[in-house]
Amino acid sequence: MPTYHALSLFSGGLDSILATRMVMAQGLSVLGLHFVSPFFGKPQAVAAWERDYGVTLEVMDIGQAFVDMLSARPAHGLGKTLNPCVDCKILMLRHARALLSHYGAQFLISGEVLGQRPMSQREDTLNAIRNDAGVRDLLLRPLCAKHLPPTPMEESGLVDRERLGAMHGRGRKPQLELARVMGISRIPAQGGGCRLTEKESARRYWPLLQFSALRAEDFHLANVGRQLWHGRHWLVLARNERDGQVLRSLRRPGDLMLQLDQLPGPTGIARPLPGAVWDVATVQQAAATLAHFAPKARTADAPVRVRIDDGGNRSTVEVLPACCFAEPPSWECIREAKAQWMQESSPK
Ligand code: SF4
């Protein structure tokens, strides 16, 4: 097992690349940790990043820990959408800290730049992140290190403070100049990458967040297809063949799979959640809704048959197409409900 001087939080964004490379340029070995969850992460890009940026990476799935944190109301609040950036950083740093001894590493690296983001990169917030994550003496922020007190790694001479950065604020020019000096030609696009910052994705997640005992796989399912709700009953319909393949791969025991019989139409998954009983009438409504989104069924002008497969039993129901399920609330409704949701002590 190779060992490293440091572990770096490596999102694939330019700051994380530069922070990692800045420490590597001092002759220190660094392993980049690429965290993934239903909300962020590009594990499929890791091989290209290793090749393009000359870094070594490991993919770390923190999906369930992230869902637990989000579901329990993030202690440091939410950003503009449903993004709990401060708690997210703390969670990642805690995970990275727990891996230090596994990789024989002595310190952690993150690519934050003082003053770059209003919520998570103010000086007081950077301190809170460092302290709450329990990495006070372990965390180096190479890009803005000269604006921060020296760390034990600098004081001991392991890291040369003179060769660290003094970046500050929202501008990207210093990063682009440093990338040029480092010979990095493939510059990743700015922003993006976290679905929790996107209003349309937030709409997918919001109904789920009203439940307890959520699993990461529930949010993977929320990322796919057409999301439809009837009270506490959740139905996901594929919009195309690719959605259908993903839906089938995400199916888990207890899910109902719905499909039109002898007519083309979307694949559907109904996932039972706590407190939502799928009785015969509700299954009929889900089947009618699935038929509503199948043009051939809608124009049939007669009842159509929908196959229901619960993993053990198969049955067929006859329905007239009708949209009995609704799309999630608008972002405006969610924004209004967000503050109250944060105050609730636990999901219902
Ligand atoms: S934008 Fe998403 S991934 Fe980035 S810190 Fe915030 S919650 Fe975490």
Determine whether the shortest distance from the Cβ of 84 to ligand 1 is under 6 A. Answer: yes
Distance (angstroms) between ligand 1 centre and the Cα of 164 equals: 25
What pLDDT does residue 202 have? 98
**Ordered domains of the chain (ranges, CATH):** 6-182 (3.40.50.620), 199-319 (no CATH)
Distance (angstroms) between ligand 1 centre and the Cα of 57 equals: 19
The Cα–Cα gap between 26 and 1 comes to 22
Distance (angstroms) between ligand 1 centre and the Cα of 84 equals: 7
What pLDDT does residue 69 have? 98
| Ligand 1 probe mutation, 15, 194, 195, 205, most atoms within 8 A of CB | 194
Sheet architecture: strand order including 139-140: 56-61, 30-36, 6-9, 107-109, 139-140
Buried b (16+ CB within 10 A) or exposed e, 55-72: bebeebebbebbbebbbe
Distance (angstroms) between ligand 1 centre and the Cα of 78 equals: 10
Determine whether the shortest distance from the Cβ of 197 to ligand 1 is under 6 A. Answer: yes
Determine whether the shortest distance from the Cβ of 9 to ligand 1 is under 6 A. Answer: no
- Please name the amino acid found at residue 284: Q
Residue nearest to atom 5 of ligand 1 (CA): 85
Distance (angstroms) between ligand 1 centre and the Cα of 159 equals: 28
The Cα–Cα gap between 80 and 34 comes to 24
The pTM assigned to this predicted structure is 0.94
Buried b (16+ CB within 10 A) or exposed e, 279-313: eeebbbbbbbbbbbbbeebeeeeeebbbebebeee
* Phi, psi angle pair for 45, to nearest 5°: -95, -5
Q: Give the atom of ligand 1 at the shortest distance from the alpha carbon of 120.
A: 5
DSSP string of 155-193, one letter each residue: HTTSS-GGGS----SS--HHHHHHHHHHT---PPPSS--
Determine whether the shortest distance from the Cβ of 66 to ligand 1 is under 6 A. Answer: no
The Cα–Cα gap between 165 and 328 comes to 45
What pLDDT does residue 310 have? 93
Instruction: Identify the three-state secondary structure at position 332.
Output: helix
Residue nearest to atom 3 of ligand 1 (CA): 194
Residue whose entry in the numeric block shows the structure tokens 């002595």 = 106
What pLDDT does residue 1 have? 85
Determine whether the shortest distance from the Cβ of 88 to ligand 1 is under 6 A. Answer: yes
Cα–chain center distance at 149: 32
Determine whether the shortest distance from the Cβ of 83 to ligand 1 is under 6 A. Answer: yes
pLDDT tens digits in sequence order for the chain, 348 residues long: 899 999 999 999 999 999 999 999 999 999 999 999 999 999 999 999 999 999 999 999 999 999 999 999 999 999 999 999 999 999 999 999 999 999 999 999 999 999 887 667 788 999 999 999 999 999 999 999 999 999 999 999 999 999 999 999 888 999 999 999 999 999 998 876 899 999 999 999 999 999 999 999 999 999 999 999 999 999 999 999 999 999 999 999 999 999 999 999 999 999 999 889 999 999 999 999 999 999 999 999 899 999 999 988 999 999 999 999 999 999 999 999 999 999 986 554
Provide the sign of the torsion angle of the four alpha carbons 248, 251, 254, 256, taken in this order.
negative
| Ligand 1 probe mutation, 10, 14, 40, 86, most atoms within 8 A of CB | 40
| Ligand 1 probe mutation, 9, 78, 88, 121, most atoms within 8 A of CB | 88
Residue whose entry in the numeric block shows the structure tokens 């608008």 = 330
Contacts of 161 (CB under 8 A, 6+ apart): 145, 146, 150, 154
Q: Which residues pair with 6 in a beta bridge?
A: 30, 107
What pLDDT does residue 192 have? 66
Determine whether the shortest distance from the Cβ of 31 to ligand 1 is under 6 A. Answer: no
What pLDDT does residue 246 have? 97
What pLDDT does residue 191 have? 73
| Ligand 1 probe mutation, 10, 113, 190, 197, most atoms within 8 A of CB | 197
Q: Give the burial class of 84: count Cβ atoms within 10 A of its Cβ; 0-12 exposed, 13-18 middle, 19 or more buried.
A: buried
- Please name the amino acid found at residue 225: G
Q: Give the atom of ligand 1 at the shortest distance from the alpha carbon of 11.
A: 3
Determine whether the shortest distance from the Cβ of 140 to ligand 1 is under 6 A. Answer: no
What pLDDT does residue 9 have? 98
